[in-house]
Amino acid sequence: MLKPITFHFETGAKKALDPDVARIRLAHAKESLLIREDGLGVLEVGAGGEMKDITRRKLVLLARKIVSVVKAHHIERVHIDVADLFRQLGDSHLHLKEEELAELISTHMELANFEFVVYKSEPKEGWKFLRDVFVTGCKTKTVQKAFLRGQVIAKEINACRSLANTPGGDMTPALLAGAARNAVRGLPVKITVLGEREIKKVGMGGILGVSCGSDEKPQFIILEYRGGTSNEKPVVMVGKGVTFDTGGLNLKPSDAIYEMHMDMSGGAAVIHAVALAARLGIKRNIIGLVPAVENMPSGSSYHPGDVLQSLSGRTIEVLNTDAEGRIILADAITYAKRYKPRLVVDVATLTGAAMAALGQRCSAIFTEDETLEHKLRVWGEESGDYVWPLPLWEEYDEEIKGTFGDIANVGKTRYGGAITAAKFLHAFAKDLACPWVHIDMAPRMTSIEGEYLAKGAVGVPVRLLLKIVEDF
Cβ neighbourhood burial of 320 (10 Å; 0-12, 13-18, 19+):
middle
Residue 445 partner contact from Mn ion, ligand BES, Zn ion, none using kind-dependent CB cut-offs of 5 to 8 Å? ligand BES
Residue 210 lies near ligand BES (rule: CB under 6 A): no
Q: How far apart are CA 282 and CA 44, in angstroms?
A: 38
Q: Is 252 annotated as catalytic?
A: yes
Footprint of Zn ion on residues 174-203 (CB under 5 A)? none
Return the closest-CA partner of residue 237 out of 151, 294, 160, 320: 160
Q: Are strands 189-194 and 307-309 parallel, antiparallel or unpaired?
A: unpaired
CA dist., res. 355 & res. 65, Å (int)? 26
Residue type for position 352: G
- If one asks whether residue 419 binds ligand BES (CB under 6 A), the answer comes out as no
Residue 240 known to bind ligand: yes
Q: Which of 44, 98, 322, 346 binds Mn ion (CB under 5 A)?
A: 322
Min. distance of Cβ 168 from Zn ion in angstroms?
12
Hey, which residues does 307 pair with through a beta bridge? 317
Select from 81, 110, 156, 324 the one that contacts ligand BES (CB under 6 A).
324
Does 417 engage in binding with ligand BES (CB under 6 A)?
A: yes
The size of the chain, in residues, is: 472
Q: How many residues in the shown chain lie near ligand BES by CB under 6 A?
A: 16
Q: Is 245 in the site for Zn ion (CB under 5 A)?
A: yes
Residue 352 contact among Zn ion, Mn ion, ligand BES, none, beta carbon within 5 to 8 Å by kind: ligand BES
The reply to whether 451 sits in an annotated binding site is: no
471 is in an annotated binding site: no
Smallest distance, Mn ion to C-beta of residue 327, A: 10
Cα Rg, the chain, nearest whole Å: 23
Determine, following the binding rule CB under 5 A, whether residue 98 of this chain makes contact with Zn ion. Answer: no
Instruction: Exactly one of 58, 252, 342, 375 is catalytic; name it.
Output: 252
Q: What does the alpha-carbon distance between residue 28 and residue 79 come to, in Å, rounded to a whole number?
A: 19
Strands 6-10 vs 285-295: parallel, antiparallel or unpaired: unpaired
- Compute CA distances 448 → 31, 277, 451, whole Å: 20, 28, 6
From 176, 183, 264, 353, residue interacting with ligand BES (rule: CB under 6 A): 353
| CA–CA separation, 64 and 58 (whole Å) | 10
Binding site for ligand BES (CB under 6 A): 245, 263, 320, 322-325, 349-353, 410, 417, 442, 445
As annotated, the active-site residues are 252, 326
Residue numbers in the known binding site for Mn(2+) are: 240, 245, 263, 322, 324
Residue numbers in the known binding site are: 240, 245, 263, 322, 324
